[in-house]
């Protein structure tokens, strides 16, 4: 494969109160929408989406998402929309709701509209969904022929979400350049199916630069639930820049480690996608033999965002070595993105890097007087 491929959504709209303009933006797609949201998000934003649709003379069919982006849940919701002649599927909520909406739309062949209520992942813009089992274990990536037709990002809604979600999105987005850089060096395939373009490389770099420049200000902004220029910049980095950057720039070690963690039982499952990716990013940096100064730059940034940097932080402090080896095995199984690194990676290598990343972070915490 020598072709370069870049993919993107049809349109991206970001601003305060844009959920109240949903009807205006989607009426070109048809007359009837299947709106998917979980119980909490109906109160936060999805009811406003339905009101906007009805104000524009469109019909809305409500579907409640039950919490897991699994094949069974996708089939259940698709069945609800089938026979209703829906023209579009509108997903409102977090990453798993949005991944489910994309997969449902693929079955119903309508226009796909994505409305994230947090800036916690880069899922909204991509032409893929992460599919889990009904119990929450990672199963596979599901790829679609095209990206969503429209992304609507309401910065006021996102400013009202818990600060943890923004920090998690920053962590997910921080992996974008680190993984893209590895894929470029390895001349590996991206999620878009080809080599990274110059555009994807530039976007991934700008993503990280924006996060280092404005991430802490944005984090403080959401603590006060205010929309600031710093928050606007970071929402765009978390959602658009990271979304375009990971899909057309490629995934590597950080997300493979995240997927590996899903084989374990216990409290780690209560952590967000981004919290697990934060630690996965440190593991990739350790695998790549990056300098201590470079690794500590990320550790310091993550600590300021209250993100996990040690095994104890991700609820694996007393996990037996053999269980961590299972994580490493899952992260390096055939087809995993760890093999996009520009060198051969074994489960033993990953286990060593997990323990090294933990030790580097413990040493940094001691140096800064954060632990004894």
- Residues 140 and 248 grouped into a single domain: no
Find, among 45, 40, 82, the residue nearest to 61 by Cα.
82
- Residues 153 and 206 grouped into a single domain: no
- Residues 118 and 198 grouped into a single domain: no
Q: What contacts 281, CB < 8 A, 6 or more positions away?
A: 171, 174, 175, 178, 254, 298
- Residues 132 and 232 grouped into a single domain: no
Question: Could you tell me if residue 219 is inside a domain?
Answer: yes
Do 265 and 135 form a contact (C-beta atoms < 8 A)? no
- Residues 270 and 361 grouped into a single domain: yes
Question: Could you tell me if residue 140 is inside a domain?
Answer: yes
Question: Could you tell me if residue 285 is inside a domain?
Answer: yes
- Residues 119 and 171 grouped into a single domain: no
- Residues 218 and 107 grouped into a single domain: no
Question: Could you tell me if residue 229 is inside a domain?
Answer: yes
**DSSP string computed for 5-55:** -----S-EEEETTGGGGHHHHHGGG-SEEEEEE-HHHIIIIIHHHHHHHHH
Looking up tokens 């309401």, which residue turns up?
Answer: 154
Q: Which letter, b or e, does each residue of 162-188 get, where b requires 16 or more Cβ atoms within 10 Å of its Cβ?
A: ebbbbbbbbbbbbbbbbbbbbbbeeeb
Catalytic residue among 99, 149, 258, 358: 258
- Residues 125 and 201 grouped into a single domain: no
The residue out of 115, 134, 159 marking a domain boundary is 159
The residue out of 99, 134, 159 marking a domain boundary is 159
- Residues 313 and 194 grouped into a single domain: yes
Catalytic residue among 87, 273, 313, 358: 273
What is the domain extent for residue 318?
Answer: 163-367
Question: Could you tell me if residue 4 is inside a domain?
Answer: no
- CA 313 vs CA 29, 304, 316, 350: distances in Å: 45, 14, 7, 19
Q: Any catalytic annotation for residue 269?
A: no
Question: Could you tell me if residue 2 is inside a domain?
Answer: no
Question: Could you tell me if residue 7 is inside a domain?
Answer: no
Number of domains comprising the chain: 2
Each residue's pLDDT tens digit in the chain (372 positions)?
Answer: 589 999 999 999 999 999 999 999 999 999 999 999 999 999 999 999 999 999 999 999 999 999 899 999 999 999 999 988 899 999 999 989 999 999 999 999 999 999 999 999 888 999 999 999 998 888 998 999 999 999 999 999 999 999 999 999 999 999 999 999 999 999 999 999 999 999 999 999 999 999 999 999 999 999 999 999 999 999 999 999 999 999 999 999 999 999 999 999 899 989 999 999 999 999 999 999 999 999 999 999 999 999 999 999 999 999 999 999 999 999 999 999 999 999 999 999 999 999 999 999 999 999 999 998
Question: Could you tell me if residue 3 is inside a domain?
Answer: no
Predicted TM-score (pTM) above 0.85: yes
Catalytic residue among 99, 172, 313, 349: 172
Q: What is the CATH number of the domain that holds 280?
A: 1.20.1090.10
- Residues 267 and 254 grouped into a single domain: yes
Q: Any catalytic annotation for residue 258?
A: yes
- CA 197 vs CA 205, 238, 249, 335: distances in Å: 13, 20, 7, 22
Q: What is the CATH number of the domain that holds 33?
A: 3.40.50.1970
The residue out of 159, 181, 210 marking a domain boundary is 159
- Residues 245 and 353 grouped into a single domain: yes
- Residues 149 and 192 grouped into a single domain: no
């Amino acid at each position: 494969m020598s072709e370069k491929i870049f993919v993107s959504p049809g349109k991206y709209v970001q601003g305060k109160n844009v959920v109240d303009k949903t009807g205006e933006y989607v009426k070109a797609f048809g007359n009837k929408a299947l709106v998917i949201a979980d119980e909490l998000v109906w109160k936060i934003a999805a009811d406003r989406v339905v009101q906007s649709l009805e104000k524009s003379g469109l019909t809305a069919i409500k579907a409640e998402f039950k919490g897991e982006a699994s094949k069974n849940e996708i089939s259940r919701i698709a069945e609800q929309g089938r026979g209703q002649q829906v023209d579009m599927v509108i997903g409102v909520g977090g990453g798993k709701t949005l991944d489910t909406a994309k997969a449902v739309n693929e079955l119903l062949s309508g226009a796909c509209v994505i409305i994230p209520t947090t800036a916690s992942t880069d899922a909204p813009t991509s032409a893929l969904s992460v599919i889990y089992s009904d119990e929450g274990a990672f199963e596979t990536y599901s790829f679609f022929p095209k990206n969503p037709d429209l992304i609507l990002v309401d910065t006021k809604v996102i400013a009202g979400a818990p600060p943890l979600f923004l920090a998690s999105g920053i962590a997910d987005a921080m992996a974008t350049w680190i993984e893209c850089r590895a894929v470029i060096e390895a001349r590996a395939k991206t999620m878009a199916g080809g080599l990274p373009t110059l555009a994807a490389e530039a976007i991934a770099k700008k993503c990280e630069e924006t996060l280092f420049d404005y991430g802490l200000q944005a984090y403080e902004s959401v603590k006060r639930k205010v929309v600031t220029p710093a928050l606007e910049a970071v929402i765009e980095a978390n959602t658009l820049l990271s979304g375009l950057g990971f899909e057309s720039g490629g995934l590597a070690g950080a997300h493979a480690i995240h997927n590996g963690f899903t084989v374990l039982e216990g409290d780690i499952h209560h952590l967000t996608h981004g919290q697990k990716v934060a630690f996965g990013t440190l593991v990739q940096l350790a695998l790549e033999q990056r300098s201590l100064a470079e690794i500590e730059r990320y550790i310091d940034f993550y600590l300021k965002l209250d993100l996990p940097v040690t095994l104890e932080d991700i609820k694996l402090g007393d996990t037996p070595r053999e269980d961590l080896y299972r994580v490493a095995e899952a992260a390096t199984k055939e087809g995993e993105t760890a093999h996009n690194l520009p060198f051969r990676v074994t489960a033993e290598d990953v286990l060593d890097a997990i323990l090294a990343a933990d030790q580097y972070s413990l040493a940094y915490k001691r140096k800064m007087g954060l632990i004894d």
